[in-house]
Amino acid sequence: MKEWTTQERYRVLKDASEIKDLYDRIQASDYRQTYHIQPITGLSSDPNGFIYHKGTWHLYYQWCPWGAVHGLKYWYHTSSKDLVHWQNEGVGIHPDTIYDNKGVHSGSGFSTDEKLYLFYTGNHRDENWVRTPYTCLAQLTEDGQLVKQPEPLFGPHPDYTEHQRDPKVVYHEANQTYYILLGAQSKDLKGKVLIYSSKELLQGWTFAGELRVPGYEDLGGMWECPSIARIGDKDVLVFSPQYTTLPHRGPSTNHNIYLIGQMDYENLTFQADGDYRHLDYGFDFYAAQFAANVKEEDKAILTAWMGLPDNHYPTEEEDWEGSLVLPRELRIVDGRLLQRPVPQLSQLRKEKVNPNGYLPRVAELEINNHGQDAQLQLFCKADGTGGLSIRYDASNQTCTIDRSQMDLRFNEAIGEVLDVPLERALADLRIFIDRSSVEIFFNGGEATFSSHLYPSAEENRYQLSPNLSLGMWTLKPSVTDDFRV
Ligand code: FRU
C-alpha cells in the first residue's frame, strides 16, 4: 500500500493534463463499473448536491484526484435526465478560496425552481493544521458556471468541536423559514445535529439550536451527513453515526441509519416513532443523501457512497476506488421504509440469459424463494467452491452473507460475514451486479445489502438451492467514463 505524504494528498490540481496518464491507466482496470457512478481517477466518497432542477438530475461526489486516498476534496459533477444514464460534467466545486483551502466537503443542493444553489462545507486549515469548518454557498448558473458567494454563511459554533459540517438545506412551508441541518460533535464527544435558520435563503442565517432526538442522546461520537425528507405524512431523518459499534454491523464503527417520525421545526425536535434501522446491511454503504426537489409526496430518492471511512479497497493498487450506490426510491409501508432501485433501471436490461451456471460480470438477477431455508453462491468457481455465500435460515428469518471465501479479500477487520434480519419470510431477492459491486434488495426492498466485491477470472459461476428460481439479465452500460475535468 502506498504511503502518502500530506503534501501529496493535498496537492492542488492545476491542470487536467496532470491526471491524464492516471486516467488512461485506470481505464484498463478489470473492475471499472459500467452503470454506477465512479471517480474518473482517484477516490470518490459521499454523494453531494443531489437535486432535480429544470429537467436534469445533478449529482456530485466527493473527489480526491490523485489516488485512492482521502486528501484535498473537490465536488465532481455528474448529470442525468433519468437517474440511470449519467454523464461526466467535470469538477463542480474547486477548493480555491481561503475558506476551503483544504477541501470542499459535503453538502446539499437547493432549487428555487429558477436558480440552483449548492451549500457545502469549506474545510479550512491554518499553518498549524488547526481546522475551521465554514458553511458556504455557491450558485450553478444557467450556463454551467459555478459562482461562489465570497463570504461563508457562518463559521463554526464555539460550543462544539471542529467537527461541524455537511449542510442539508430545507424549506419549511408552515413557518416560511429555511433550515440548515449540520452534522456535529459536542465537546463531550457525542454525535449531534445543529440547526441554523433564516427567513432568506442566501443570507441572515443564525444558530437556532441543537436538534433534540429523544432516545438518541448517546449514539456515537459524530453524526456525519444528516439528511431529511418528508414521505407522505412522515419525516425520515438519516445520518451516519461514527465511533461506535452497532448490532448487525460487525466490528465496523461507521454506520448509516434512519429514523421515521415527525420533525418539529418550532421546537427543534425529531420525535422518532420507533427504533432506528440500518439503511443498508452491507459492508459498504455510508453518507446517504436524499435528492432535493423531488416533488412527489409519497416517495423520496436517495443514494449513498458505496464505501466506508477508514477502509481500503483492492483497486487502491490501481490508484482509484469508490462508487455510488444505485439511486433508490423510498416509500413508507406499514411504518417502515421500502427501498427499491429506481424503476427506470429496467431500461438497462439487455438480454435475458438462460440460466446455465455462469454468472455474467454485469447482470440483474430476480430470485424467488419457493421453500424455507435457501442457499445461493455467487461468484463461485467451477467446482462450486468460493464466492459470496447468501444463506437464508427460515427459523430466524435471517440471511447471512459471507464474503470470506472470495479470492480477493479486503477490509477483513470489519468482518466478512454479516446478517440481514428480515421482517417476513424470504420471498424474493433482486440483485444488481456490476464489475466490482453487488446490491441486494430483499422482499421488495424491506432490507438492502450493498458491497464492493472484486471477483477473479475463475469466480464466474453461481449455484442455487433447488427451492430458488432465477431470472437473469445482462445489462447495458449507462455511465460515461470520459475524461472531463
Ligand atoms: C463523510 C465525510 C463528511 C465530510 C466528507 C469529507 O464521509 O467525512 O462528513 O464532509 O466526508 O470528504
73 CA to middle of ligand 1, Å?
9
Asked if 370 and 482 count as a contact pair (C-beta separation under 8 A), the reply is no
Question: What cell does 77 get?
Answer: 459533477
Answer whether 108 contacts ligand 1 (Cβ < 6 A).
no
**Please, what's the b/e burial string for 178-191 (b: 16 or more CB within 10 A of its CB; e: otherwise)?**
bbbbbbbbbeeebb
Active-site residue, 46 included: yes
Looking at the chain, the whole-number percentage of residues with pLDDT higher than 90 is: 99
Mutation pick for ligand 1 pocket among 70, 102, 124, 225 (CB with most ligand atoms within 8 Å): 225
Look-up of cell digits 460475514: 417
- Span 336-385, pLDDT tens digits: 899 999 999 999 999 999 989 999 999 999 999 999 999 999 999 999 99
Mutation pick for ligand 1 pocket among 72, 75, 166, 325 (CB with most ligand atoms within 8 Å): 166
Q: Provide the pLDDT confidence category of residue 1 given band limits of 50, 70 and 90.
A: confident
- Span 132-156, pLDDT tens digits: 999 999 999 999 999 999 999 999 9
Question: What cell does 104 get?
Answer: 470542499
Pick the catalytic residue from 46, 166, 280, 284.
Answer: 46
349 CA to middle of ligand 1, Å?
34
Q: What is the pLDDT of residue 250?
A: 95
Question: What cell does 261 get?
Answer: 417520525
| 3-class SS letters over 63-92 | EECCCCCCCCCEEEEEEECCCCCEEEEEEE
443 CA to middle of ligand 1, Å?
32
Alpha helix stretches (DSSP H) within 130-223: none
Mutation pick for ligand 1 pocket among 60, 61, 62, 124 (CB with most ligand atoms within 8 Å): 62
Mutation pick for ligand 1 pocket among 100, 102, 223, 224 (CB with most ligand atoms within 8 Å): 224
Answer whether 459 contacts ligand 1 (Cβ < 6 A).
no
Q: What is the pLDDT of residue 111?
A: 98
Answer whether 309 contacts ligand 1 (Cβ < 6 A).
yes
Please name every residue paired with 131 in a beta bridge, in sequence order, or none if there are none: 125
Q: What is the pLDDT of residue 216?
A: 97
Q: How would you classify residue 174: left for phi > 0, otherwise alpha for psi between -120 and 50, otherwise beta?
A: alpha
Q: What is the pLDDT of residue 2?
A: 86
Closest CA relative to residue 152, chosen from 133, 131, 135, 169:
135
- Span 10-63, pLDDT tens digits: 999 999 999 999 999 999 999 999 999 999 999 999 999 999 999 999 999 999
- Span 412-465, pLDDT tens digits: 999 999 999 999 999 999 999 999 999 999 999 999 999 999 999 999 999 999
Cα(183)–Cα(192) distance, integer angstroms? 6
Q: What is the pLDDT of residue 184?
A: 98
* Ligand 1 atom, smallest distance to 46 CA: 7
Look-up of cell digits 470518490: 44
Tally DSSP H helices, then E strands, for the chain: 2, 33
How many of the other CB atoms lie within 10 Å of CB of 336? 16
Closest CA relative to residue 106, chosen from 84, 127, 121:
121
Q: What is the pLDDT of residue 343?
A: 97
Answer whether 166 contacts ligand 1 (Cβ < 6 A).
yes
- Span 310-339, pLDDT tens digits: 999 999 999 999 999 999 999 999 988 999
Asked if 378 and 388 count as a contact pair (C-beta separation under 8 A), the reply is yes
Answer whether 162 contacts ligand 1 (Cβ < 6 A).
no
7 CA to middle of ligand 1, Å?
20
Nearest C-alpha to atom 8 of ligand 1 is from which residue?
Answer: 224
Give 278's Cβ-side CA count (13 Å radius). 24
Please name every residue paired with 181 in a beta bridge, in sequence order, or none if there are none: 168, 195
Answer whether 168 contacts ligand 1 (Cβ < 6 A).
no
CA 247 to chain centre: 20
* Ligand 1 atom, smallest distance to 225 CA: 9
Question: What cell does 376 get?
Answer: 445461493
Asked if 350 and 364 count as a contact pair (C-beta separation under 8 A), the reply is no
CA 340 to chain centre: 15
Asked if 305 and 18 count as a contact pair (C-beta separation under 8 A), the reply is no
Mutation pick for ligand 1 pocket among 106, 306, 324 (CB with most ligand atoms within 8 Å): 106
Answer whether 46 contacts ligand 1 (Cβ < 6 A).
yes
Nearest C-alpha to atom 12 of ligand 1 is from which residue?
Answer: 105
433 CA to middle of ligand 1, Å?
26
* Strand order across the 468-475 sheet: 349-352, 468-475, 363-369, 428-434, 437-442, 447-452
φ, ψ dihedrals at 173, nearest 5°: -55, -45
Answer whether 478 contacts ligand 1 (Cβ < 6 A).
no
**Please, what's the b/e burial string for 345-358 (b: 16 or more CB within 10 A of its CB; e: otherwise)?**
beebeeeebeeeee
417 CA to middle of ligand 1, Å?
26
Answer whether 105 contacts ligand 1 (Cβ < 6 A).
yes
Answer whether 100 contacts ligand 1 (Cβ < 6 A).
no
185 CA to middle of ligand 1, Å?
13
Residues 6 or more apart from 22 whose CB is under 8 A from it? 41, 42, 65, 66, 67, 319
- Span 6-22, pLDDT tens digits: 999 999 999 999 999 99
327 CA to middle of ligand 1, Å?
19
Residues 6 or more apart from 44 whose CB is under 8 A from it? 37, 38, 61, 62, 63, 76, 305, 321, 322, 323, 324
Angle at 379 between CA 376 and CA 383, to 5 degrees: 85
Cα(250)–Cα(224) distance, integer angstroms? 20
Answer whether 73 contacts ligand 1 (Cβ < 6 A).
yes
* Strand order across the 104-111 sheet: 104-111, 116-125, 131-140, 146-148
Mean pLDDT for 99-110 is 98
The gap between the terminal CA atoms of the chain, to the nearest Å, is 27
Answer whether 45 contacts ligand 1 (Cβ < 6 A).
yes
* Ligand 1 atom, smallest distance to 165 CA: 10
208 CA to middle of ligand 1, Å?
23
Answer whether 434 contacts ligand 1 (Cβ < 6 A).
no
* Strand order across the 206-210 sheet: 160-172, 177-186, 191-198, 206-210
